[in-house]
Amino acid sequence: VLGQPEHSVVTTCAYCGVGCSLKAEMKGSQVVRMMPNKNGEANEGHACVKGRFAWGYATHKDRITKPMIRAKITDPWREVSWDEALTYAASEFRRIQAKHGRDSIGGITSSRCTNEETYLVQKLVRAAFGNNNVDTCARVCHSPTGYGLKTTLGESAGTQTFASVEHADVIMVIGANPTDGHPVFASRLKRRLRQGAKLIVVDPRRIDLVDTPHVKAQYHLPLRPGTNVAIVNALAHVIVTEGLLNEAFIAERCETRAFEQWRAFVALPENAPEATADVTGVPAERVRAAARLYATGGNAAIYYGLGVTEHVQGSTTVIGIANLAMATGNVGREGVGVNPLRGQNNVQGSCDMGSFPHELPGYRHIGDATVRAEFEDAWHVTLQPEPGLRIPNMFDAALDGSFKGLYCQGEDIVQSDPNTQHVSAALSSMECIVVQDIFLNETAKYAHVFLPGSSFLEKDGTFTNAERRISRVRRVMPPLSGYADWEVTQLLSKKLGYEMDYAHPSEIMDEIARLTPTFHGVSFDLIDKLGSIQWPCNEHAPEGTPIMHVDEFVRGKGKFVITQFIASPEKVTRKYPLLLTTGRILSQYNVGAQTRRTDNVRWHDEDRLEIHPDDAAERGIKTGDWAGIESRAGQTVLRALVTERMQPGVVYTTFHFPESGANVITTDNSDWATNCPEYKVTAVQVTPV
């Protein structure tokens, strides 16, 4: 028992994309408790069970604080000095490049890392490795958001501030479960619903928002997994054919020819709710009623999550959602917009920082010689003009024998990426894997070098939340390993012969601001002065931009794009007659590496298989029974939870526990535009054990 705190430090929650401002209350250099910051704009003085209570992992006994190396993954780990570990990692990377070519190594960064750390990883890969083989875990969650929103609206980010929901009259939640995934925003949303706003939920499950005390959705569209595009097209069909378009907005703000083509497409009979009902499973009249409400109910806002993006048509659905907002004039003011709910704290930031293989910071294409020249001047290197490998391509290249070395910071790809067997086989075929993490995670089983990482309490930096809000992460205790993550990347770069010389993360942000138009003027001093700041921040908006696309879209005219529905290749069969979809639960976070090492396991200590009573009865399965689950990718065992939350024919599980290994089941189908995996649609069979 540490007793009463003596002082406090304001920092930012390291979990979900709400990005709550927290106060670490300290006694000496020890955290006594974590309290929500009353002045935090993203959270208005609230925090959830994760941010408030699940920070103890930072000093958990499982923390690895010494660098380790081993020649083969079957060898035991050997603790070594930082110098020996980094020298070994650098020499292995250079050896591999000499033998297999410049492009035979790459790096993966994480949305759990700060902006400054992510920026340094992509700089290390582009400048020191000399290729563009860098990717982020956003590849497997919101990469379709970047593609879809940039294509239609012109910027790879959500349009609104969270506070905007307080001006919404109609709220459509598609493929998201804010109560579990984004609890503090869910409270704000429910408050608006209690004040009278109307709710449309589009989700295969009967999620909490559909029917909880004081909150009831006007319309729940319980679609079959994999039919998002069909239902979005059906909503658009009603808006177009029933005369519900905002013609004045479209005429003033959108490209005419693209709009006319889109209008003709969605008006086709094949897109009518009556025609798509067999595919989506949603009665036509309910789709019609929801479309009328969205188009005519006043300010209408769409919030969406991974139930939209993690599909073979993830990018198409994001585009379809943007089409709906433009068609009804619901962009560019309070209470409306297109709002991706990001799963991890810094998904937005890791994308902003240029950690996709084709984009430099600020979403500028690596193939643009002018942009490349700016970075070449600043970094004193020659950059390669061709985009590098995405994460799934790295695995494929590893199995082909052309990709042999990986630097993986803050991301447990073995547990989080789909088709675990494929990932494991790829990693097993590499010659040097360097894992930088706070725990010996599942990926570390395949690593040759382990570099101890630092938790959010041990470093300075910034996170950018789902509303583009850049907030400070402040160090409240020294790094247990001696170095913060950004320092480790810098030291590795030096060993590779490419000097980085930052004395503090604020200097990294200064460089980001110099090189990234949407960050011009951003500095730690400015964030400290304002509390937080929403990008774009520049000479036109020196204190940031709460709402985007106000007078015109970032791309100029908004662009409607045709969204043809194409069914997922993942089909139910006699062998695999059910569809599995995956998600999260309130008390656990992502792969659970942090929350599983806290008291949050009291609320949820295993992944469970949710199954409809009819499907359970057919198989003789009761709540609490073990059930085998098998797909064409693999099989595992989960404890069953029989619930009417599920629709018949669809089962669900979370992916927080490595013991159950939900991603042993998921396949490597992925989004056509971005390779975001289709976690949400897997044909499976469930049997009693």
Given the rule CB under 6 A, which residues bind ligand SF4? 13, 15-16, 18-20, 43, 47-48, 50-51, 182-184
507 vs 494: CA distance, rounded Å: 17
How far apart are CB 257 and ligand SF4 at their closest, in Å? 42
439 vs 452: CA distance, rounded Å: 8
339 vs 176: CA distance, rounded Å: 11
Nearer of residues 13 and 234 to ligand SF4, judged by Cβ: 13
How far apart are CB 575 and ligand SF4 at their closest, in Å? 39
Q: Which two tokens stand for residue 582?
A: 């995956």
Nearer of residues 9 and 561 to ligand SF4, judged by Cβ: 9
How far apart are CB 12 and ligand SF4 at their closest, in Å? 8
Q: Would you say 463 and 12 are in contact if contact means Cβ atoms under 8 Å apart?
A: yes
Nearer of residues 43 and 464 to ligand SF4, judged by Cβ: 43
Other beta carbons within 10 Å of 398: 25
Q: Which two tokens stand for residue 395?
A: 């695995």
How far apart are CB 146 and ligand SF4 at their closest, in Å? 21
Nearer of residues 209 and 331 to ligand SF4, judged by Cβ: 209
Nearer of residues 52 and 66 to ligand SF4, judged by Cβ: 52
User: What's the distance, Cα to Cα, between the start and end of the chain in Å?
Assistant: 44
The dihedral sign for the CA sequence 474, 534, 506, 347: positive
Nearer of residues 463 and 679 to ligand SF4, judged by Cβ: 463
Nearer of residues 48 and 306 to ligand SF4, judged by Cβ: 48
How far apart are CB 453 and ligand SF4 at their closest, in Å? 19
530 vs 138: CA distance, rounded Å: 28
689 vs 686: CA distance, rounded Å: 9
Nearer of residues 54 and 513 to ligand SF4, judged by Cβ: 54
3-state secondary structure 52-86: HHCCHHHHCCCCCCCCEECCCCCCCCEECCHHHHH
How far apart are CB 11 and ligand SF4 at their closest, in Å? 11
352 vs 466: CA distance, rounded Å: 12
How far apart are CB 655 and ligand SF4 at their closest, in Å? 17
- Among 554, 511, 518, smallest CA distance to 538 is for 518
280 vs 222: CA distance, rounded Å: 8
* Residues in Cβ contact with 675 at an 8 Å cutoff, skipping those fewer than 6 apart: 139, 143, 390, 391, 392, 393
55 vs 106: CA distance, rounded Å: 31
Nearer of residues 119 and 162 to ligand SF4, judged by Cβ: 162
* Residues in Cβ contact with 37 at an 8 Å cutoff, skipping those fewer than 6 apart: 10, 20, 21, 22, 23, 43, 45
322 vs 229: CA distance, rounded Å: 12
* In the complex, residue closest to ligand SF4 by CB: 51
In order, the DSSP letters of 243-293 are T---HHHHHHHB-HHHHHHHHHHHTSGGGSHHHHHHHH---HHHHHHHHHH
Other beta carbons within 10 Å of 447: 25
How far apart are CB 161 and ligand SF4 at their closest, in Å? 15
Residue indicated by tokens 């490595």: 658
Q: Is the preceding peptide bond at 536 cis, omega within 30 degrees of 0?
A: yes
248 vs 254: CA distance, rounded Å: 10
Nearer of residues 184 and 321 to ligand SF4, judged by Cβ: 184
Nearer of residues 22 and 423 to ligand SF4, judged by Cβ: 22
Nearer of residues 52 and 622 to ligand SF4, judged by Cβ: 52
- Among 586, 560, 684, smallest CA distance to 629 is for 684
How far apart are CB 471 and ligand SF4 at their closest, in Å? 10
134 vs 422: CA distance, rounded Å: 20
Q: Would you say 671 and 144 are in contact if contact means Cβ atoms under 8 Å apart?
A: yes
How far apart are CB 35 and ligand SF4 at their closest, in Å? 11
How far apart are CB 88 and ligand SF4 at their closest, in Å? 37
How far apart are CB 528 and ligand SF4 at their closest, in Å? 20
How far apart are CB 16 and ligand SF4 at their closest, in Å? 3
How far apart are CB 564 and ligand SF4 at their closest, in Å? 36
Nearer of residues 16 and 64 to ligand SF4, judged by Cβ: 16
How far apart are CB 489 and ligand SF4 at their closest, in Å? 25
34 vs 36: CA distance, rounded Å: 7
Cα angle: 649, vertex 679, 12; to 5 degrees:
125
- Among 346, 361, 362, smallest CA distance to 410 is for 346
Nearer of residues 90 and 113 to ligand SF4, judged by Cβ: 113
HSE-CB at 10 with a 13 A cutoff on CA atoms is: 16
Nearer of residues 184 and 621 to ligand SF4, judged by Cβ: 184
Q: Which two tokens stand for residue 174?
A: 């598609």
